[in-house]
A and B are shown apart, each in its own frame.
Chain A
Amino acid sequence: DQQVKQNSPSLSVQEGRISILNCDYTNSMFDYFLWYKKYPAEGPTFLISISSIKDKNEDGRFTVFLNKSAKHLSLHIVPSQPGDSAVYFCAASRPGGSYIPTFGRGTSLIVHP
């Protein structure tokens, strides 16, 4: 049972435009959400996160939006750059314990020059 779903395996965007990556979750106990970016032959690197007490978090070109009632979050990249081409993983964790996150299957973003 997939608790974190990224329903779009891939996304293609033109340089300079907005990239929107979506993520849905089913477990209402999740209270912290993260996005990781992964380039080929490298491990995932942390990009941005959001706590369930917020609905938006911004860091430069990256903004994450959280809609708790819909159990949905999205990552916006504005403007998109060719260097953003990577696989993006959404992750969610529950309070307490060791905060082990549950990951989605990833969305491959390609930004065309």
Chain B
Amino acid sequence: KAGVTQTPRYLIKTRGQQVTLSCSPISGHRSVSWYQQTPGQGLQFLFEYFSETQRNKGNFPGRFSGRQFSNSRSEMNVSTLELGDSALYLCASSHEGANVLTFGAGSRLTVL
């Protein structure tokens, strides 16, 4: 069974630009979460979507947004990029109510 797929795997942007990252969850998983990983900061929760609705949100500015489609695929968008947005962005999916998340390989964003 296919895992969580994230695209693109690597991208480079400049300050002020915007970026969209995509995540295809495991078939049948309706919950999709996004995390940001930076050196020394661990995995910081961005938001979680379930059935096209944002159900939980972390402590990130409004420049970070996301959405989920009817097929459970999700996208996250970061507008007006800052140098500090350089990070690995991880998407994870799970069944409703499941404690265990299955992560994708991540999208490595570098902001110059």
Contact = CB atoms under 8 A, between A and B. Distances in A.
B21 interface: no
A11 interface: no
Contacts of B99: 32, 34, 49, 93, 99, 101
A101 B101 contact: yes
A111 B98 CA distance: 32
B59 to A, nearest CB: 10
Interface residues of B, number: 27
Given A98-B31, A99-B97, A100-B48, A43 B103 contact: yes
Given A6-B42, A89-B42, A105-B41, 5 more contacts: A9-B40, A44-B103, A46-B102, A98-B55, A106-B43
B89 to A, nearest CB: 11
Interface of B: 4, 31, 33, 35, 40-45, 48, 50, 55-56, 90, 92, 94, 97-106
Interface string A26-45: 00000010101000011111
Contacts of A93: 99
A25 interface: no
Contacts of B4: 43
B48 A98 contact: yes
B33 A106 contact: no
Nearest to B57: A100
